[in-house]
Amino acid sequence: MSGQQDRKFIVQAGGQLTGSFRVPGDKSISHRSIMLGSLAEGVTEISGFLEGEDALATLAAFRAMGVKIDGPTDGKVTVHGVGMHGLKAPENDVYVGNSGTSIRLLSGLLTGQTFDVTMSGDKSLSVRPMRRVTDPLALMGANIDSADGKPPLTIHGGHTLKAIEYDLPMASAQVKSCLLLAGMYAEGTTSVTEPAPTRDHTERMLQGMGYPIDVQGNRISIQGGGKLTATNIDVPGDISSATFFMVGAAIAPGSDITLQHVGINPTRIGVINILKQMGADISLSNEAVTGGEPVADIRVRYAPLTGIDIPQDQVPLAIDEFPAIFIAAACAEGRTVLTGAEELRVKESDRIQVMADGLQALGIDAKPTSDGMIIEGGIIGSGEVDGHGDHRIAMSFAMAALQAGGAIQINDCANVATSFPNFVELATHCGLQIDAFDV
């Protein structure tokens, strides 16, 4: 949110989720479709584009750098690519709002340009760590000013970049992607080794647009000086947005929902694996591959959940889904323990602290730890929680109302529009008793 009106949700207790519908397009893939479409030679037609504030911030940034982009109209966007060296200096600073993906991926891409760009964001983005991208980019020869490792960032163009071999200190697709995008402009072959697999949408889209990538286990290499060829991109539904409905259906007796055409990239399906291990009734159908990304319809029917120790190898594969998974854990029988998820502390909010505070306010025994949470399943009470301007916190607590003893009020919800602009309408449509109020 940047000085716009704030929102609060009031969600009445009880109910169930039913129906078959599509959630908005994948946020990560939508960002990348604009970035790579802009640098490609030719015209990229995108369908299923997420018309949320984050992806629109990326779209606006490329328009400001001289790329002709038509739409979005009903999820359709046409990007008239300018080629690897066709971007122009924007007239003004680039504002990316709440979007960590925009600022971190663009940092890499902009180090390869001949002009300077300053990028800034909202209150939440302005306190998020950027050294994780500026440090390795500096090793490549980039010149970037930051506010003590935080946005705004000024990327000074016109520097020759040299390839590096980099061991990522944390599992982060944003940092990996940033370096691969910079690597396209570097002399030599840039290699990034990740400590655990993270979402690989950048690699898949680069390959889909004809830019060779070498993947050997956890090591991804890219040679500078290549080019991208425009293609058509069908953006699948976002599994991170589908998650709220999956959890809602998993906790509310009588629920039966089908989420159509959702991306089930193996690097994103931690939530399915974790919920299934807790006992959720989840089945996939209509499996297909579209534009290099696997998709399926996901059906979730209510079934009682049991607490688990969440396997650490699932953490990077479910990193955005933990706020909702914590709600499932609160409704499960017994204890759920999450460890190895310290990255949650530097998301759009500190998702460990903020979720623990909210769960405790609703009467759940939730203990935050440095890298996770211990949750005893129990009875969710009525109450008021703070969304902390974090879309996923707000939508998670909205679903908690399905199993609550009374209404839940969630404050500071305007940022739901960053990833899921029609959340309230869709949730209402399938049975959540939710009202949104501008405040």
Enumerate binding residues for ligand S3P (CB under 6 A).
28, 101, 172-174, 177, 199, 319-320, 343
Q: Which is nearer to ligand S3P, 179 or 399 (CB)?
A: 179
Q: Taking the mean position of all CA atoms in its chain, how far away is CA 191?
A: 24
Q: Is 347 annotated as a binding residue?
A: yes
Q: Which is nearer to ligand S3P, 198 or 403 (CB)?
A: 198
Q: Which is nearer to ligand S3P, 159 or 391 (CB)?
A: 391
Contact 317/273 with Cβ under 8 angstroms? yes
Q: Residue 59's closest CA among 79, 82, 83? A: 79
CB of 28 to ligand S3P, least distance (A): 3
CB of 174 to ligand S3P, least distance (A): 3
**Cis omega before residue 197 (within 30°)?**
no
Q: Is 32 annotated as a binding residue?
A: yes
Q: Name 438's bridge partners.
A: 7
CB of 365 to ligand S3P, least distance (A): 27
Q: Is 396 annotated as a binding residue?
A: no
Q: Which is nearer to ligand S3P, 22 or 199 (CB)?
A: 199
Q: Where are the alpha helices (DSSP H) in 74-146?
A: 100-110, 131-139
**Token code pair at residue 227:** 């080019």
Q: Between vectors from CA 12 to CA 350 and to CA 418, what angle results, nearest 5°? A: 40
CB of 257 to ligand S3P, least distance (A): 23
Q: Is 128 annotated as a binding residue?
A: yes
d(CA 239, CA 191): 28
Contact 413/1 with Cβ under 8 angstroms? no
d(CA 358, CA 353): 9
CB of 135 to ligand S3P, least distance (A): 15
Contact 341/370 with Cβ under 8 angstroms? no
Q: Is 297 annotated as a binding residue?
A: no
Contact 77/51 with Cβ under 8 angstroms? no
CB of 252 to ligand S3P, least distance (A): 26
Q: Where are the alpha helices (DSSP H) in 269-400?
A: 270-277, 322-331, 351-361, 391-400
Q: Which is nearer to ligand S3P, 105 or 329 (CB)?
A: 105
**Token code pair at residue 47:** 């369908």
Q: Between vectors from CA 62 to CA 60 and to CA 63, what angle results, nearest 5°? A: 60
Q: Is 320 annotated as a binding residue?
A: yes
Q: Residue 239's closest CA among 320, 172, 328? A: 320
Q: Are strands 372-376 and 18-21 parallel, antiparallel or unpaired?
A: unpaired
CB of 279 to ligand S3P, least distance (A): 26
Q: Between vectors from CA 216 to CA 215 and to CA 220, what angle results, nearest 5°? A: 45
Provide the terminal-to-terminal Cα distance of the chain, rounded to the nearest Å. 13
Q: Which is nearer to ligand S3P, 101 or 255 (CB)?
A: 101
Q: Is 88 annotated as a binding residue?
A: no
Q: Which is nearer to ligand S3P, 124 or 172 (CB)?
A: 172
Q: In this structure, what DSSP letter does residue 16 have? A: -
Q: In this structure, what DSSP letter does residue 62 have? A: H
Q: Which of 26, 234, 297, 320 is catalytic?
A: 320
Active site residue 320: yes
- CA atoms within 13 Å, Cβ hemisphere of 225: 7
**Token code pair at residue 162:** 């040299």
Q: Is 20 annotated as a binding residue?
A: no
Q: Taking the mean position of all CA atoms in its chain, how far away is CA 255?
A: 26
Q: Is 27 annotated as a binding residue?
A: yes
Known binding residues are: 27-28, 32, 100, 128, 172, 174, 320, 347, 351, 392
* Catalytic residue set: 320
- Binding residue positions for phosphoenolpyruvate: 27, 100, 128, 174, 351, 392
Residues of each annotated binding site for 3-phosphoshikimate: 27-28, 32, 172, 174, 320, 347
